[in-house]
Amino acid sequence: MNFSASHAASWSISGSGVLTIRFDDINLVDSFTNNLASQGYFAYTVRLKDNLVANATLSNTANIYFDFNQAIVTNTVQNNLALPISASNLNRDHKIYLYPSQPATISHCEVKSLP
């Protein structure tokens, strides 16, 4: 797993697939004192399991804990897996444009011949 963070952090994944990120002794200042210094982040990438099928929906909710307070529960995010796409026999006489539509529920693909 690739992982990066704004401050020193450790991570682990349980047997049931729960990702835990720990920022020990991060000591962020409050946002009223210094808004920028009160922020932190982590970013990660994961590999999909081989047995996932196209059109499957992956749902995830995070619980964020500060000190010993109750969890802040995030909105549930849903990602829909699409069939993989590929291209073969492409030549340099065409340009392909792929872009999302807003809201990002539809993607558009244009293939244009070059003059």
What's the number of domains the chain is made of? 1
Neighbours of 5 (CB within 10 A): 16
Range of the domain at 84: 2-113
Q: Which residues of the chain have pLDDT under 50?
A: none
User: Tens digit of pLDDT for each residue in 48-69?
Assistant: 788 888 788 889 999 999 888 9
pLDDT of residue 77: 92
| Rounded Cα–Cα distance for residues 15 and 94 (Å) | 48
pTM confidence score: 0.61
